[in-house]
């Protein structure tokens, strides 16, 4: 474990290197827009990229696009995929590839930390398990078979959260790899935020209080300016999941109105 003096020296060195290698202009990040077509949407993968860039102190200009208003170059050359990062002549799509690109080009490394493999192994399955659970058994489809399937999906999510909690109980001091923010954190935190917001809204699901290490991790990391300055509003997260779940039109309309109101309030 690094001493306080060694940590300070490492941070000073990183700051000096970051200044020397900083991009000439802000990076451009093209992302899914919110329901008004102009605000930044709910995408957890775009949020992960913003966290990775923010942890490196990189300026990022975020450009939201509605599905029917993507720029021609993005549609013609990159299949309209977002998030999409533009750094000078380099254009990269897919959040993991973007994070890897940033790590290769700009210090400090977020993926070369000790313990990153164990952290990723514990963290990566969580979002997929939640997505399958949250999209299951929508209103009007509550057959016995569907309810049983939903129960199994919930058990799978809880198992992955239990594994994550066990990892964090040993490794989180306070991040998934220890003292430094990593790529694992950049992708895990948006996933946990969506579970916290959408899980409760659509499934009445809350992360069990018994997972104390996981709760401590979330409480610390989600209170940092790195997270709060890049996170979508809870209303935006609920809007995104209502759309993903193909909920009935009345419910989607209500959630959309709430998200729009939150955007307007935030912009005042």
Q: Which of 53, 35, 37, 39 is nearest to 95 (CA)?
A: 53
- Domain architecture of the chain: domains with CATH: 4-105 (3.40.30.10), 116-232 (1.20.1050.10)
Q: pLDDT tens for residues 57-86?
A: 999 999 999 999 999 999 999 999 999 999
Question: Taking residues 90-108, what's their average pLDDT?
Answer: 98
Q: pLDDT tens for residues 112-141?
A: 999 999 999 999 999 999 999 999 876 556
Q: Residue 189: phi, psi to the nearest 5?
A: -60, -45
Flag whether pLDDT at 94 surpasses 60.
Answer: yes
Q: What is the pTM of this model?
A: 0.86
For residues 85 and 29, the answer to whether their CB atoms sit within 8 Å is: yes
Burial 84-122 (b: 16+ CB within 10 A, else e): bbbbeeeebbbbeebbbbbbeebbbbbbebebbeebbeb
Flag whether pLDDT at 266 surpasses 90.
Answer: no
Flag whether pLDDT at 146 surpasses 90.
Answer: no
Flag whether pLDDT at 93 surpasses 50.
Answer: yes
- Considering all CA atoms of the chain, what is the largest pairwise distance in Å, rounded to the nearest integer? 61
Q: Which of 99, 227, 109, 123 is nearest to 172 (CA)?
A: 123
- Name the percent of the chain in helix, strand, coil, to the closest 5: 60, 10, 30
Q: How far apart are CA 181 and CA 227, in angstroms?
A: 11
Q: pLDDT tens for residues 218-236?
A: 999 999 999 999 999 999 9
Q: How far apart are CA 183 and CA 168, in angstroms?
A: 15
DSSP β-bridge partners for residue 60: 27
Coil, strand or helix at 61: strand
For residues 210 and 167, the answer to whether their CB atoms sit within 8 Å is: no
Output 138 or 262, whichever has higher pLDDT: 262
Q: For 33-37, 63-67, 233-237, 260-264, which range has the lowest pLDDT when averaged over its residues? A: 260-264
- What pLDDT, on the 0 to 100 scale, is given for residue 251? 63
Q: pLDDT tens for residues 164-173?
A: 999 999 998 9
Q: How far apart are CA 202 and CA 8, in angstroms?
A: 44
- What pLDDT, on the 0 to 100 scale, is given for residue 19? 43
Question: To which residue do tokens 């977020």 refer?
Answer: 110
- 268 Cβ neighbours under 8 A, 6+ residues apart: none
Question: Taking residues 84-102, what's their average pLDDT?
Answer: 98
Give me 66's structure tokens: 């509605």
Question: Taking residues 174-194, what's their average pLDDT?
Answer: 98
Question: Taking residues 26-38, what's their average pLDDT?
Answer: 97
For residues 211 and 165, the answer to whether their CB atoms sit within 8 Å is: yes
């Amino acid at each position: 474990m690094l001493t306080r003096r060694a940590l300070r020296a490492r941070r000073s060195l990183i700051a000096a290197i970051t200044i020397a290698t900083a991009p000439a202009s802000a990076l451009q990040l093209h992302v899914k827009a919110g329901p008004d077509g102009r605000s930044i949407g709910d995408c957890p993968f775009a949020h992960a990229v913003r966290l990775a860039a923010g942890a490196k102190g990189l300026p990022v200009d975020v450009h939201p696009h509605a599905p029917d208003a993507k720029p021609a170059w993005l549609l013609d050359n990159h299949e309209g995929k977002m998030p999409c990062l533009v750094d000078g002549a380099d254009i990269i799509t897919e959040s993991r590839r973007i994070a890897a690109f940033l790590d290769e080009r700009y210090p400090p490394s977020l993926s070369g930390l000790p313990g990153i493999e164990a952290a990723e192994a514990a963290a990566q399955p969580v979002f997929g398990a939640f997505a399958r659970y949250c999209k299951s058994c929508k209103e009007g489809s509550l057959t016995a078979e569907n309810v049983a399937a939903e129960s199994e999906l919930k058990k799978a999510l809880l198992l992955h959260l239990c594994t994550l909690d066990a990892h964090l109980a040993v490794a989180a001091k306070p991040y998934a790899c220890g003292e430094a923010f990593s790529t694992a954190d950049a992708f895990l935190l948006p996933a946990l935020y969506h579970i916290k917001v959408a899980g409760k809204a659509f499934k009445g699901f809350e992360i069990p209080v018994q997972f104390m290490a996981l709760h401590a991790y979330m409480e610390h990391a989600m209170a940092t300016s790195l997270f709060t300055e890049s996170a979508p509003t809870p209303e935006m997260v609920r809007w995104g999941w209502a759309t993903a779940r193909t909920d009935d039109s009345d419910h989607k309309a209500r959630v959309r109105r709430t998200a729009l109101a939150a955007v307007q309030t935030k912009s005042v």
